[in-house]
Amino acid sequence: MKILAIDDQQLVLLPLQKRLQELGYEVIIETDAYAGISIYNHENPDLVIVDINMPNVSGLDIVKYIRNSKNADTPVMVLSGNTADDIITTGFELGINDYMKKPLSLNEISARVKRLIGAPAGENTVSNSNVMIQERCVGVVIPCYNEEERLLSNEFITYIVKNSGYHLCFVNDGSTDRTLEVLKELQKGREDFITVYNCKKNGGKAEAVRLGMLHMAKKEDLDYIGFLDADLSTDLADFDDLVKTIETSDFKIVSGSRISRMGANITKESARKIISLTINYIIRKILKMDFKDTQCGAKIFHKDVINIAFGEKFVTQWIFDVEIFKRMSIYFGLKNAKSMLCEQPLKRWIHADGSKLSMKDSVKIVGQLAQIAWVYRAKKYKMKSVVGNELKMI
């Protein structure tokens, strides 16, 4: 039995295709609506699964096309994150057979497919899946410098298997050990979910993250893009909580925070903690924002602010996070920027052994903060001048 699934996000289609193929169905997936219509005409599938919100052609337009085609009785199921009552009603009025709302488990999708078109001949027996088809797709940039010994490959693999809609981008920042080989081995056979971006020369974490974020921004099927430390000092489950916050709010950036709270597992050496508190005090004065922890290595961004935050090279190597927030406040204005930023406490954070940032480096950060204050003060006045000239022209 043949199934055609059309959705502009490949990260949604791939786990769906795998699951239905395991059950014995023949599954064709397509991310382009026009190409999907062409496949429908040539393949005559037994079932079409389609998303609603797609560029250029709506899923409802595809439903209309099918209902006016020579195979007008072909069963159609909608799998969409659009929960608007009028859209759902219109879909059924056009003749869809089922409407499935994301997020939805692969188990339920499989059961609905069987109910609608029956089980394939010689149906395979497979165990239940704990994978959910999500409404959003997320890119995660992970900067790596000499991480051969510390990279937790199994944790990353397990995560992308159990959590649909994620694409990991590992940026090799000119490592001198076997990090690049380890990353390529990690990517092997998982190219649809893992990208390895190789920088031949070491440019520092700031540049590695910046290049990775801009690279991932080119992927059209991603809704949000963030970054995470390779040592997983921030738990992947915690990162997913940041994603849930940004997708259910109007925030443009959600930043993890290592501040202590009841029930949290936050560990850090005392001396480093004292220095961090001092640095954070200076940062709050520079940003004029009440941030508790700008330097947490876990942040998620709405795609439409990626170029604002990462378009230009950073002034500093380690505290580029401060520059990101400063760029947002300059571009949108301090009041608006504050409403776009969210600081969310982590449930767990552990300072991993082997950190590249030494105590001496921490002292140097104070000088870099002074550099940021000076450089972005000039940028602010330059922007005000540009805005003023534009107003005069009007």
> Do 140 and 226 form a contact (C-beta atoms < 8 A)?
yes
389, part of any domain: no
* Residues 152 and 293 reside in one and the same domain: yes
* Residues 175 and 110 reside in one and the same domain: no
Under 8 Å CB-to-CB from 203, ≥6 apart: which residues?
173, 174, 211
Given pLDDT bands bounded at 50, 70 and 90, which one contains residue 145?
very high
Given pLDDT bands bounded at 50, 70 and 90, which one contains residue 310?
very high
* Residues 80 and 169 reside in one and the same domain: no
* Residues 188 and 106 reside in one and the same domain: no
Structural domain tally of the chain? 2
Phi, psi values for residue 243, rounded to 5°? -65, -45
* Residues 152 and 176 reside in one and the same domain: yes
E-strand ranges in the chain read: 2-6, 26-30, 47-50, 76-80, 98-101, 104-105, 132-133, 138-144, 166-173, 194-199, 224-228, 253-257, 265-267, 298-302, 341-345, 348-350
Of 117, 140, 175, the residue at which a domain comes to its end is 117
* Residues 290 and 336 reside in one and the same domain: yes
* Residues 320 and 290 reside in one and the same domain: yes
Q: What is the C-alpha separation between 371 and 377, in angstroms, rounded?
A: 10
pLDDT tens figures, 152-207: 889 999 999 888 999 999 999 999 999 999 999 999 999 999 999 999 999 999 99
The residue segments making up the domain with residue 295 are 132-260+269-381
190 beta partners? none
Q: Check pLDDT > 50 for residue 264.
A: yes
> Do 327 and 308 form a contact (C-beta atoms < 8 A)?
yes
Q: Which of 197, 376, 226 is nearest to 310 (CA)?
A: 226
392, part of any domain: no
**Number of alpha carbons in the 13 Å side-chain half-sphere of residue 388:** 6
Q: Check pLDDT > 50 for residue 276.
A: yes
* Residues 185 and 285 reside in one and the same domain: yes
Of 84, 117, 150, the residue at which a domain comes to its end is 117
* Residues 198 and 337 reside in one and the same domain: yes
pLDDT of amino acid 351: 58
pLDDT of amino acid 233: 84
CATH code for the domain in which residue 108 is found: 3.40.50.2300
pLDDT of amino acid 262: 42
Q: What DSSP state is assigned to residue 289?
A: S
* Residues 138 and 49 reside in one and the same domain: no
In three-state secondary structure terms, 345 is strand
